[in-house]
Structure formats: structure tokens, C-alpha cells
Structure 1
Amino acid sequence: MADPTHGHTQALAARLSWMPAAAPAPLHTPADAPASGAAAPAHGPLTTLPLTAHARGELGATVPRLQAAGADRPSFSAAAAPGTPPRAVLVSEGAAAPAVVCVPSFLAGSGPHQFTRFAARFAPRLRMSGLTLPGFDAATPLPATWRAAVDSLTAAAVRAAGGAPLLLVGHSIGGALAHAVAATAERAGHEVAGAVLIDTYEPEVAQQHEVFGWAMGRVLDLDQELLGITEHTVRAMGGYLRLFDDWTADPLLAPALLVAAESGPEVPGGDRWALWRAPATVVPVPGDHFSLLEEHAAATARTVEDWLRKETPCSPSA
């Protein structure tokens, strides 16, 4: 699901400059500040809940309580989406086609910053943006349904593409969102070059709690202050966990790639967790679920480049 982050993202954020209003905004920080400039909520019961459960090895059991906390947030439906789509954050400048739009996981601490190393490893560079999930910014409501989330993210992705063919990329559970956004944009008539899912597990309820407990535990082993884990982001995470109650897989005509980590989760039963079977092409890559976007980002990027050259007519090196 989510990806741990490191201090290099903050240095990169300082080097990027603001783009025009119609273009993706530059990379900010792992936990984007609310639009109003207000401080993030202080730590409290919701941040304590996963920390305490993690210490006991019971993170998966917190899912119902996190879902209930997310239900208390203001939300929007597919028929009444906010007037402004989620922000697209510029991760890398480069070739304009395909327009690469990345979708992060919805675990607290995730965001567009997850894709900085991955973007930097492309040669030539591609113009790459990362979407901010609606509701993680305190100024925006949460999506009430899976369809509301997908439609909102699709509007943001199409806007970020600026008319260029879209290539959607998602890491972990963000891969399920990226695949759905690609399918929705395709149905709406936008040209979609493809979808790339980076170590995305089957989004079925039967294994969802176990995968969440393992992935969130890895995140909590890091510095929560750096990752921006707050009462607000934990509540937003709970809201997204609720969305899979009505999740359905959308058919996609464009090619899809699953980049699969060669090293699986080192937890009891982790060898039984199924990767998502939606993509037609599956390529194993050295590394684990988290390192695919960190120390093994170069191998991940090369795999995607090779696939682009073979599968899509808009590859800059085709």
C-alpha cells in the first residue's frame, strides 16, 4: 500500500518552482498543508490507535475503527463532486507525451513525493505528475464512494495531461485507483497510453486487512513527524478504507503492466497474498514492495521504459 519516504524528498521540494495555475503544482511535502494555511491537527486518539495496535501486532484489526472514523468526515458523491478537481503536483519535467500521472497509496504518510526517485530514473525524463487524493487536504471533503473518488481523480488526471495521451501509474493500492482512472478516462474518450501497477495486491476484502496491517506497520516503523501522520490523515485513510466496500474492477482496453517485487512480504501468510491479475503483462523486478520506488527505483523505471517501447506508440524513445 503506502511507501515510506526519506529526507531527499524535502530537498527536491525546495528546488522545484511554481508552475502556472493550469499546470500541475510543484512538489511540496509528504503531508500537504491545508489550503487555509492552518496547522495540521495535533496527535491524539486516532494517531495513537495504529501505533498501539502495531506494537501489539494487531494493526489489521483496527480497520473497522478507522473506517468508522473516516465516516465522520464531510464527503462528496459522484453526482456532486467538488468544483475543483484534486491537485496534480509536478514531480518531474521532461517529454510531454505520454503525460505520466501517478496515483499514491491512501495510507497516511503517502503522497506524490513517493514517485520522485522513480521519475528521476527515466532517460530521457518524462513529464510526470502525482495526484493528491481528495480529503487528505483538510480543505477538501472525502469521496463518499469508490466511483466518486475515481471520477474526481480522473478529472485531475485529464487536466494534468493537457491533451497528451495519459499513462497512469499507481503504487500498491494506488494501482487499483490508477487502473480505474485509466479506464474511466478511456471511456470518456481521452487517449490512454496505458496503466502501470507497481506491486499492487488483489483489492479483495478477504486479504485487505492483512495487507493493510503489514504495509502500515512498515510505515509506522519510520518517523511519523517526517511522514506527516496526523489525526487528519489517519481519519482520511479510514475514509478510503471504506471505499472498497463497493469496489469493482473497470475493464481497460489500453495495455496494462504489473511490476511485481521479487521479494514478497516477510510476514506469516504473506506468501499467500495474491497480486492483482488485471494487467496482461507481469514483470518481476528486484526489490520489495517498498524499495521498488526507493533504492530499486532505477530497475522499476527501466522496466516501465522497456514496456513503453514495446506496447505504446507514444513512448519518447519508441
Structure 2
Amino acid sequence: MRLASGPARPTIVCLPSMVAPSGPHNFARLALHLHGRRDVYALPHPGFGDGELLPATADLVVDLHAETIARAFDEIPLVLAGYSSGGWLAHAIAARLETRGIHPRAVVLLDTWLPGDRIPEGDIQEELRGVALNDQAFALMTEAQVTAQGAYLDLFEGWRPTAVNAPVVLVRAMERMPQQAVAENPDGEGQAWVTDWVMEHERLDAAGNHQTMMNEHAASTAAVLHQWLTELERPTELERPTELERR
């Protein structure tokens, strides 16, 4: 689904969260503030729509998205951007594309934590309500959406990122949400909702929390992302043509 258009390159291809309500609408406000600057697309995950089959394996999801991207964006410079748990897919798809000789310009992780980071125990209704944009979004969560959320989180429970050649940038929300308060797990290992990746990556700060960075503060998040991508595409001193070459 095309969400925005603009002249700057690379194109952004977005992967929504695996948490209900999931879909291209996760990026609606971000894309609004990138419109006129660069192209933005989003891919829905199979199984989140009514009547859709759920994927049998995590690899199948990655393969399906990689095939779609390879076909639709052939020879178009692009970055893969994943919001929340969608960052796992963005990273996995980048790795899969690189094995096929397709090289994304970058992987953007929008407040993404690793699968091993745990959400504090609590009532599932309250957790879903906390992730939803508002009560209206919570009310619109379908049975298919909630079922798909459980299936996807199970499929990717043991997933861990592998090295990619593309630069990786983690855009972290500067504020933690109340249900994301850092707390020791019962087994004493790790912390809740920690958005730190041990692999090499850059880190940018975005205004707001996990929700508001994509909504109330979407303009700021869009500006931070657009600026980083602009710098990414700017030629280095070694790449710039000399005066003699320009002649």
C-alpha cells in the first residue's frame, strides 16, 4: 500500500507491528509527514485480515515479504522500516534479500525490542488496550487480529537477528510508557521492553513514547528519519567528483 510520495531516495518500505491492531495504518501519520519528501509503502502481514490463513512458519512470512519486495521494487533503492515487533521482520527480510543479491540501503527499527525482552505480566486486555492508539482502535481489534498476534509472537519467539551488510538504525522513543517501566523479571534475567540491540547499529532519539512517537509526535519522528536518510545518501568526500571530473 502506497502511503506517501516524494522525490527523495531511498523509498521506505514499512513492516507493521505483529501486535494487534496491525496493518499499514500503523504508519499513517508518519507517512503523512513524509509526503512530498519521499515514497513510503507498507506491507500488511498475512493472517491479520478476516478469513486469511496464518503462516505456518516464521521463514514463510520472511520469504513472502522478501518475494513481494523483490518483485515490486526491482532496481529501486529502498530501506526497510519496522515499527515495534515489525522491526524483527524488517531485519530478517533485509538479511534474506541480501542472500538474493538485493541490498537495501538501510534497516530502520522504530522502537523495536528483541523477542526475549518481556512485557510485564498482566491482564492481556490491558496490554492490548495499552498498545492500541485509543479506545476506538481497541474496539476495532477483530478476532482475526488478536489470533494472528498470538500466532506471530509464537512463531518469532526464538528469532534472533543475524548480521546484515546494510546499516541499522534504532529510533528509540525518549519516554517509557507506564506498562513499559523497567523491572526485573521473576527469574532475575533481563529487563522489560528494553530497546537495545547488541549488534552494531546507530541510535536516534524520537520525541514521545512507544505510541506517541508514531502519532502525536509523528512529525518529529518523520523529520529525524528523513534527515538520517538524507545524510545516508549524501556522498562522502571520497565519492564526490573532483573539479576535473566535473569538467
**Pick from 129, 140, 156: which aligns with 2:52?**
140
In the alignment, residue 293 of structure 1 is paired with which amino acid? M
Question: In the alignment, is the contact (CA less than 8 A) between 2:22 and 2:48 conserved in 1?
Answer: no
* Structure 2 segments unaligned to the other structure (5+ residues): 184-190, 236-247
Q: Measure how far apart 1:263 and its partner are.
A: 0.4
Q: For the structure 1 residues 211 and 282, does the alpha-carbon distance in structure 2 shift closer, same or farther, using more than 3 Å as the test? A: farther
* Structure 1 segments unaligned to the other structure (5+ residues): 1-88
1:151 aligned residue: 63
Matched, 1:287 2:216: no
Distance, in Å, in 1 between the alignment partners of 2:213 and 2:180 is 22
Please show how residues 1-318 of structure 1 align to structure 2 within 5 Å: 89-95=1-7, 97-122=9-34, 124-204=36-116, 207-208=118-119, 210=121, 215-219=127-131, 222-224=134-136, 228-267=140-179, 269-270=181-182, 272-273=191-192, 274-277=194-197, 278=199, 280-312=201-233
Q: Measure how far apart 1:268 and its partner are.
A: 7.1
Q: Write the deviation string for residues 69-90 of structure 1: whole angstroms up to 9, x where unpaired.
A: xxxxxxxxxxxxxxxxxxxx11
Q: For the structure 1 residues 133 and 268, does the alpha-carbon distance in structure 2 shift closer, same or farther, using more than 3 Å as the test? A: closer
Distance, in Å, in 2 between the alignment partners of 1:212 and 1:309 is 42
SS in structure 1 at match of 2:224 = helix
Q: For the structure 1 residues 264 and 119, does the alpha-carbon distance in structure 2 shift closer, same or farther, using more than 3 Å as the test? A: same
Q: For the structure 1 residues 313 and 152, does the alpha-carbon distance in structure 2 shift closer, same or farther, using more than 3 Å as the test? A: farther
Aligned residue pairs: how many?
A: 226
Q: For the structure 1 residues 290 and 133, does the alpha-carbon distance in structure 2 shift closer, same or farther, using more than 3 Å as the test? A: same
In the alignment, residue 62 of structure 2 is paired with which amino acid? V
Question: In the alignment, is the contact (CA less than 8 A) between 2:17 and 2:83 conserved in 1?
Answer: yes
Normalised by the length of structure 2, the TM-score is 0.80
Question: In the alignment, is the contact (CA less than 8 A) between 2:81 and 2:110 conserved in 1?
Answer: yes
Q: Measure how far apart 1:225 and its partner are.
A: 6.3
Normalised by the length of structure 1, the TM-score is 0.64
Identity %: 34
Q: Measure how far apart 1:241 and its partner are.
A: 1.5
Distance, in Å, in 1 between the alignment partners of 2:21 and 2:6 is 27
Q: Measure how far apart 1:103 and its partner are.
A: 0.5
Q: Comparing both structures, which one devotes a greater share of its residues to helix?
A: 1
In the alignment, residue 128 of structure 2 is paired with which amino acid? M
In the alignment, residue 201 of structure 1 is paired with which amino acid? W
Question: In the alignment, is the contact (CA less than 8 A) between 1:110 and 1:227 conserved in 2?
Answer: no
Q: For the structure 1 residues 257 and 227, does the alpha-carbon distance in structure 2 shift closer, same or farther, using more than 3 Å as the test? A: farther
Q: Measure how far apart 1:313 and its partner are.
A: 5.2
In the alignment, residue 207 of structure 1 is paired with which amino acid? R
Distance, in Å, in 2 between the alignment partners of 1:200 and 1:121 is 21
Q: For the structure 1 residues 212 and 253, does the alpha-carbon distance in structure 2 shift closer, same or farther, using more than 3 Å as the test? A: farther
Q: For the structure 1 residues 137 and 281, does the alpha-carbon distance in structure 2 shift closer, same or farther, using more than 3 Å as the test? A: same
Question: Aligned-pair RMSD on alpha carbons?
Answer: 2.7
In the alignment, residue 161 of structure 1 is paired with which amino acid? F
Q: Write the deviation string for residues 189-238 of structure 1: whole angstroms up to 9, x where unpaired.
A: 1131101111111221x515659957523145833567631122211111
In the alignment, residue 128 of structure 1 is paired with which amino acid? V
Instruction: Give the ranges of 4+ consecutive aligned residues of structure 1 lying more than 4 Å apart after TM superposition.
Output: 208-215, 224-227
